Structure 1
């Protein structure tokens, strides 16, 4: 059976699938306001021991020629207004080393890094919009002389803004194929800057990449291979102060935390009339099925489960609003894995459905109970080609295609200490294409 996919709805500034389900992990969407912004006043003291707009300098006083050469520059300069957040904060020492930087602001902490040689400190992320900052820096030079300088300034208030929505829900559980899915309210022209504004922290090390879908508003992150099961994931998008296009700024950061659950992977053969199910890395079942008949073939490809309902009301040739039990959707056009008590006699031998994967009642209920959004479902043996974007078809892309869709063309190494961009050539070994790790390239093509 098939069900026409409903459109996106808007609720509270965030896109949701099925407003009645918006609080569950199936289709939950979070916005930047849900990102738990820290808006309490704070003074952030950065003690610097290791390894930029305009600036003025202060020199050490009461010293001879060597010490007088010690100078300290802070950018933006004291008294600046309408500062572009993308400038960040830069502290530079001439003939000395930066020893201490204190940033006081009403917003969140301002991390930064000290360059090689200890002469330049720069903030890591864009400054926040409509914010006041006070920077106090100290440098030391020859003879133990020091110099301290302070700069207070204000960032601009943008006239054009955007919002970002994330599909993953707070502390919800997803399947091993689930991409991090972001959607921007305005077109993005500075794609590389957006990719570099994101941080991913994972409890288990992995390699992935950011990549853009069709158009310039949707950005996803996908691991090179399926996520390791039971991975805890934290995402941070530093969007406040980030310009995604000239003059278009974000006004809130976005964070989210979610978990990858038990590995649940399906491979369904339309030609062999069987479905293999792997759970927690082991074969759980080899179930007879019936897929789409000749006029309604179930197309090849690796899809991801999207949502589930018991029952789902389906409409198709000869039926309308028919209640179908234990239905797990994997395409927008209306394909599900579901209980088909009416076709048990044909399951294992004949394809009689309108595109769905028909399963016996006991098997469908077991699968339904185990399923999370993002569980891989691979269809093989079909004469029909899988259609890009008919569902969450991120795994239609081979690893090299993912990298081509990235604006940086860089891989991302993520782990407990955060994420960094690395050259794809530095990532050891090829992408794995075994059933438990990822699909074979081009498996959406007709058999």
Structure 2
């Protein structure tokens, strides 16, 4: 008898069945999950689509960049992200199993292996492994912050950040640094160079307030591929408002605390050759004993102003270049209160020097008036208050 083909209905779809083969389509055809021939009864299984970030083999990946996996036409079963040193990075899969994202931070200069297992709609699992490298050490930037967390300073102390690498993307840096005060004071940034920025309010910090600098800089691109490697939070306590006026003509030093005069002391300031710098100076480091060298300010033995080396007491630095508040040398005692004979410093009698040392400190302010000296360089210490507010934030 000649072979005759008949049509059999299977699940509402007609398929060709050879006589005597009640099992329907041939197993070799029906068992192919991705079979797309017209008329087949088995459903077509669409391929799983994957979107992984970073991409396989990526270099110089920002450690702050999101690490994620998204799938279509399937679900995520498990994901492992680990450094070649074996440190695993935590992550989470969403409720639908369609997306995974890392929840832990990456490290700089590290190679990561990224393995994920996905299941398609037919229940088949596929495992894939990729790798990528994060930003190398040559493009990693740190910074030094001052004041330090927990410090107590005076009302004139600016906040300062010095970066280890040049910053060209200043706007991004400023955006990543949030500064708040319990007194509600607003302020502005001033860039002194491509590595140093400071921040101060229009007027001195409010007495007995707290300033918080929250720096979320990890992963911020400073420019030229340099990536910041840190987040830091600094809380600074502001003390009483202590502002002294040093008058080079009257030869007096008057300290006011919270705008109330409390003490006036006789002083000797810079002479005509070395006049004291005018304007505001913010007190820096203090030393009960110090050692001064004339050579440090460029004086040589044949100079009439050369004094060799001297041990000095009760020193408080005003500038990096060598201006101080201190106890005058004994030879200068007769001139205290009547004549300026110093090399730019503010010299006191022993009792006065000790009193200032005990009652003033880092961040307090001295305003120098009636001197023939010019302003000190703005970075020769903290010259921020000698910059008009209209110019400071520019």
TM above 0.5, one fold? yes
The Cα of 1:275 is off from its aligned counterpart by 1.4
Find the structure with the greater CA-based Rg: 2
Distance in 1, matches of 2:155 and 2:260, equals 14
1:127-146 residue pairs with structure 2 within 5 A?
Answer: 134=91
The Cα of 1:133 is off from its aligned counterpart by 7.0
1:152 alignment counterpart = 101
Distance in 1, matches of 2:67 and 2:177, equals 19
What number of residue pairs does the alignment pair up?
283
Distance in 1, matches of 2:231 and 2:239, equals 26
1:400 alignment counterpart = 390
Q: Does 1:187 align with 2:136?
A: no
Note if contact 1:86-1:243 (Cα within 8 Å) is conserved in structure 2.
no
The Cα of 1:378 is off from its aligned counterpart by 1.2
Query: In the superposition, relative to structure 1, how do residues 264 and 136 fare at CA in structure 2: closer, same or farther (>3 Å)?
Result: farther
Moved more, 340-349 or 262-271: 340-349
Distance in 2, matches of 1:323 and 1:264, equals 28
Query: In the superposition, relative to structure 1, how do residues 84 and 336 fare at CA in structure 2: closer, same or farther (>3 Å)?
Result: closer
Indicate the RMSD between aligned Cα atoms, in angstroms: 2.8
Distance in 1, matches of 2:368 and 2:261, equals 17
Distance in 1, matches of 2:265 and 2:101, equals 68
1:319 alignment counterpart = 307
Ranked by relative contact order (alpha carbons within 8 Å, sequence separation 6 or more), the top structure is 1
Distance in 2, matches of 1:133 and 1:201, equals 32
Runs of 4+ aligned structure 1 residues displaced above 3 Å come to 76-90, 130-138, 153-156
1:271-329 Cα deviation digits (max 9, x unpaired): 22111111233111122211111111112111111111111111234433311111111
Q: Does 1:251 align with 2:239?
A: no
Note if contact 2:335-2:341 (Cα within 8 Å) is conserved in structure 1.
yes
Distance in 2, matches of 1:396 and 1:363, equals 27
1:335 alignment counterpart = 323
Q: Provide TM-score, normalisation by structure 2.
A: 0.65
Q: Does 1:372 align with 2:361?
A: yes
Distance in 2, matches of 1:210 and 1:279, equals 27
Which of 260, 266, 273 is the equivalent residue of 1:288?
266
Note if contact 1:275-1:286 (Cα within 8 Å) is conserved in structure 2.
yes
1:218 alignment counterpart = 196
1:347 alignment counterpart = 336
The Cα of 1:382 is off from its aligned counterpart by 1.1
Q: Provide TM-score, normalisation by structure 1.
A: 0.58
Structure 1 unmatched runs, 5+:
1-75, 91-104, 107-129, 139-146, 405-447
Structure 2 unmatched runs, 5+:
1-49, 69-80, 107-132, 295-304
Note if contact 1:270-1:381 (Cα within 8 Å) is conserved in structure 2.
yes
Query: In the superposition, relative to structure 1, how do residues 164 and 361 fare at CA in structure 2: closer, same or farther (>3 Å)?
Result: same
1:125-145 Cα deviation digits (max 9, x unpaired): xxxxx995746678xxxxxxx
Note if contact 1:302-1:396 (Cα within 8 Å) is conserved in structure 2.
yes
2:29 alignment counterpart = none
Query: In the superposition, relative to structure 1, how do residues 262 and 216 fare at CA in structure 2: closer, same or farther (>3 Å)?
Result: same
Note if contact 1:184-1:217 (Cα within 8 Å) is conserved in structure 2.
yes
Distance in 1, matches of 2:388 and 2:337, equals 31
Which of 203, 216, 221 is the equivalent residue of 2:182?
203
SS at match of 1:227: coil
2:247 alignment counterpart = 269
